[in-house]
Structure 1
Amino acid sequence: MMPLITDFKAYLSQAGYGQSSQSMLPAMLADFLSYHNLSEINQTTPHHISQYHQHLQERPNKHQEGGLSESYIHHHVFALKVFFNWLEESGQLAHNPISALKFTQPGKKSREPLSPEAVQQLFAAAKNLKERAVLHLFYSCGLRRSEGHALNTKDIHFKQQLLYVRSGKGAKRRAVPMPAQVAADLENYYRQQRIYQVARNDESAFMLNKLGNRMHGQGYQKILKELIVRAGLPEAITLHHLRHSITTHLLENGMTVELLRQFLGHSFLETTQIYAKVSKQQILKL
């Protein structure tokens, strides 16, 4: 089954899925195949998938007490949907075993945007250039977690004050304009800290962890968590809260929804309108 998993990973890359998805979805598929020990993929039935779904609901969490979260189980189901849809569309499978199955959607967590004052508290809590740069990437530039992971040094043009997202969600590219202070802070991090770090595996990466490897989403979140604790803010805040927050703040300061759509890399205006939490006064202006 390994060649099939490799081909699936190649498909995800060609289809424009983010780096985290290219890693996570094949791993989840491998877990499914290992659980059932299937010798041929066309042997898969809806019962196999339902049985595996039940197994996930009963499986203990390896990292903390309790079971797997609804969101994590949903990601496993999503991995199987993408995989079997790909097989069906590419003619490798005559019947899609997951197409007729229905699964309960996980409850959506509310992501209320931070207030401008809370954002200021985070920046005030930053002790070094790296921490400040992390806040700028996810708040000032509104990057997704996967986009921060994929960011390379060549993607940031300090003098032109532009940051390029080469492979956003859905393989879309975009240019993010940076205010002068944001460009200056990112350049200061790069010239005063980043270039003196030894890049062990990927010299192109803009942000490196302590070991000199490309910074992953989990590493970014760890830095944010440290800032949150110092700032005395709720620990449930994530990188995505920062992206939501800059969306709302820009809209409240007069940016049009169309420009916000381009800034965020959304395909449709409806997505941007749902994404931003705005005041009643702002809604009346749309």
Structure 2
Amino acid sequence: MYQIVGSFKSYLSVLGYSGGTQRSLPACIRDFLAYGQYSSVQAIGPADISMFYEWLHERPLKRGAGTLSEMMIGHYVYALKVFFNWQLESGCILINPLSGLKFTRPVIGYRVPLTLAEVQTLFDAAATLREHAMLHLFYSCGLRRSEAVRLRLSDVHFRGQLLYVRSGKGARRRVIPLPVRVAFSLEQYVLQERGRYWHSGPSFMLNNAGRAMCGDSYAKLLKSLLRKADMRMEISPHYLRHSIATHLLQGGMSMEYVRDFLGHKCLESTQIYARPGAHQIRQL
């Protein structure tokens, strides 16, 4: 039975899921199989999944005291949905055991976006072309961290003012139009700063050593920029993506356009950014 976990990981890889997802979802399925000791996938029914779901609420943490958070339990449910959808599509099972089951949606705390003034403060503090490029990728283009890591030189067309996300979340692709100033800023980074490392591979963004920027590199670069801007807050690159989504919606952009801009599969994911009114956004 555990061989199927490896096959599931390969399936996620083919679909273009991020490396983190390729590790976390199979780990959830491995826990599920270990809990039930099932003889085959075909032997798993709705009652088995319900029992596992109830057990997750009681299962102690592997490290430290306490039990799993609602978000983590929701992650297990998501893993089960992806896994059994794959089994159904592959013809390994005839009926999805999750059909008809309802789970409590985890309560997600709302992340307060940056204000327009705070975003401008970050851009004003950016002293290098790479810092400007980083802000544009996450704010102006609304990229996920994994999408920025995978971005290649060939994915950005300066004259055409287009940025191609070849493999977004769930292997979804999209094209992001670039305003003139954004296309110019990204091109200047490539020509002037990145140009010193032309033989360092296809990655769009490089670190000081000329190697491809990883997720942690982006986080450290943003943290350094926050210090220079004297902004005493702990934010990740995703905050910039969150902020542009909120600003577009507050500016009157349609929910459907923002959904396509962000690469969301459904409007429900985009609606998270539309919760606060303009008067609720934190001001300086």
Q: In structure 2, which of residues 181, 202, 205 is the aligned counterpart of residue 204 of structure 1?
A: 202
How far apart are the structure 2 equivalents of 1:103 and 1:268?
19
C-alpha spacing 1:49/1:251, structure 2 compared with 1 (3 Å): closer
Where in structure 2 are the equivalents of 1:207-246 lying within 5 Å? Answer: 207-208=205-206, 214-230=212-228, 231-235=230-234, 237-246=235-244
Amino acid across the alignment from 1:183: A
Partner of 2:136: 136
Partner of 1:73: 73
Amino acid across the alignment from 1:245: S
| Residues 91-135 of structure 1: CA deviation (Å, up to 9, x unaligned) | 213554444554432211112321111112222343533333221
How far apart are the structure 2 equivalents of 1:170 and 1:96?
20
**CA displacement at 1:156 relative to structure 2:** 0.8
Asked if structure 2 preserves the Cα contact closer than 8 Å seen for 1:42 and 1:93, the reply is yes
Q: Which runs of 5 or more residues in structure 2 are unaligned?
A: 280-284
Partner of 2:55: 54
Where in structure 2 are the equivalents of 1:30-49 lying within 5 Å? Answer: 30-33=30-33, 40-44=40-44, 46-47=47-48
Asked if structure 2 preserves the Cα contact closer than 8 Å seen for 1:199 and 1:213, the reply is no
C-alpha spacing 1:68/1:220, structure 2 compared with 1 (3 Å): farther
Asked if structure 2 preserves the Cα contact closer than 8 Å seen for 1:153 and 1:204, the reply is yes
**TM-score normalised according to structure 2 size:** 0.74
How far apart are the structure 2 equivalents of 1:244 and 1:21?
20
**CA displacement at 1:43 relative to structure 2:** 4.8
Asked if structure 1 preserves the Cα contact closer than 8 Å seen for 2:161 and 2:179, the reply is yes
Q: Alignment partner of 1:123: what SS?
A: helix
Asked if structure 1 preserves the Cα contact closer than 8 Å seen for 2:42 and 2:93, the reply is yes
Q: Which runs of 5 or more residues in structure 1 are unaligned?
A: 281-286
Identity %: 49
Matching of residue 24 in structure 1 with residue 31 in structure 2: no
C-alpha spacing 1:127/1:27, structure 2 compared with 1 (3 Å): farther
**CA displacement at 1:279 relative to structure 2:** 3.4
Asked if structure 2 preserves the Cα contact closer than 8 Å seen for 1:126 and 1:227, the reply is yes
Partner of 1:113: 113
Amino acid across the alignment from 2:9: K
What count of residue pairs does the alignment treat as equivalent?
276
Q: In structure 1, which of residues 248, 254, 269 is the aligned counterpart of residue 246 of structure 2?
A: 248
Asked if structure 2 preserves the Cα contact closer than 8 Å seen for 1:57 and 1:73, the reply is no
C-alpha spacing 1:79/1:209, structure 2 compared with 1 (3 Å): farther
**CA displacement at 1:139 relative to structure 2:** 0.3
Partner of 2:282: none
**CA displacement at 1:56 relative to structure 2:** 7.3
How far apart are the structure 1 equivalents of 2:104 and 2:84?
19
Partner of 1:4: 4
Asked if structure 2 preserves the Cα contact closer than 8 Å seen for 1:84 and 1:96, the reply is yes
**CA displacement at 1:215 relative to structure 2:** 3.9
C-alpha spacing 1:69/1:153, structure 2 compared with 1 (3 Å): farther
How far apart are the structure 1 equivalents of 2:91 and 2:144?
33
Partner of 1:283: none
**TM-score normalised according to structure 1 size:** 0.74
| Residues 152-189 of structure 1: CA deviation (Å, up to 9, x unaligned) | 22101123322111233454432212233322332333
Q: Alignment partner of 1:234: what SS?
A: coil
Amino acid across the alignment from 1:221: A
